[in-house]
Amino acid sequence: MKKKIKKVVLAYSGGLDTSVILKWLQDTYDCEVVTFTADIGQGEEVSPARRKAKMAGVKQIFIDDLREEFVRDFVFPMFRANTVYEGEYLLGTSIARPLIAKRLVEIARETGADAISHGATGKGNDQVRFELGAYALMPEVKVIAPWREWDLLSREKLLAYAEKHGIPVEYKKKKGAAPYSMDANLLHISYEGGVLEDPAFEPEESMWRMTVSPQKAPNRPQTVELEYRRGDIVAINGKKLSPARVLATLNRLGGRHGIGRLDIVENRYVGMKSRGCYETPGGTIMLKAHRAIESITLDREVVALKDDLMPRYARMIYNGYWFSPERTLLQKLIDESQEPVNGKVRVKLYKGSAQVVGRESKRNTLFDTRVASFEDDRGAYNQADAEGFIRLNALRLRIGAQRQRR
């Protein structure tokens, strides 16, 4: 027997899935539904969601512009760690989920709701991310995941349900179009499902939306200068910008030069492998540039420690543990390391590549030209010291070789 639900907050886009979920919640749980639509830079108009929610009888409708919070409090902290999942994926979908979960819980408290609901399927990672985030922030909350309860397990069944209940949807399969499942925000666009479920299938050029083909990118390179303060970009080409404006600008520049396309098979937290294609132009530039500014401002062992911890940090985000105590603790260490990460980086953009061509930090550089120079350093470095250093480090190798001889 289902627990009586009085009010539920639904993460609502106004698309086919969530429009059906809205009606299904009203009928199945006989409860009031509050809708929440987040603008995190997905590039689509979110205001129609208000009209559709009103048509469905929703009285409390939340449409929030979260773009600045998304980049400032989630994307930037992640990039301070140079985060990459399984060597390639820049976690564009993963990092958006804790913010949505956070706002769902806040609205549930504001409206007195006793449940939240989402449209993630029972096969994917997003159900885990939404729910782990919600439980971490509101342990007593009830989560309703329709895809784990109903029998509407295909597009056809969803469309039939919508038609039966008079739900207006704008779901049309364009003739000749590949049926991709897409997720977009200010950091990236992802493409999954349909023909991409065959890992051998090469994506059609028409699929990509944020980037031009590298072959069709401008024949002249473009150099962009990024200014860093405590590990975050604060200006581009000398112009001060907010976090969201920084990422939007880099997306535009990177997209123009065909930067940031990715085609991978990744390991989902629920256990299966999944093929996904991604466009992350701004993030690709950010990762290159951030490692460059760290290369002259961070101690060698600090860089090594961050590199050791990064894969674990990436798994925390990918698997939905943003609000966990271990991620919070690790973030403090990462943020502390960024105090000296100040300066400027120049990146050359050209036909799908982002190449660092210069980095400087007047106040925090650890690069000592006198010591590193191939010219006469006037005693700054005694090359004779290297002999003892090498012999000490070779001691275990020499002992091991002598034992093998015996």
Give the residue numbers annotated as catalytic, written as ranges: 17, 97, 126, 181
Q: Identify the residue whose tokens are 């991604």.
A: 278
> Using the 8-state DSSP alphabet, how is residue 2 labeled?
P
The torsion region of residue 30 among left (phi > 0), alpha (psi -120 to 50) and beta comes to left
Token digits of residue 388 = 């003892």
Q: In what order do the strands lie in the sheet with 343-350?
A: 239-240, 232-236, 222-229, 343-350, 353-360
- Supply 144's token pair: 């309703």
Residues 145 and 119: their CA atoms lie apart, in Å, by 7
Q: Could you please report the per-residue DSSP string of 110-150?
A: HHT-SEEE----TTSSHHHHHHHHHHHH-TT-EEE-GGGT-
Q: Are 243 and 79 in contact (CB under 8 A)?
A: no
Q: Backbone phi, then psi, for 362, in 5-degree steps?
A: -65, -35
Q: Measure the CA–CA gap between 325 and 196, rounded to whole angstroms.
A: 36
Partner residues linked to 273 by β-bridges: 267
Q: How far apart are CA 273 and CA 360, in angstroms?
A: 42
- Calpha distance 369→390 (Å, rounded): 23
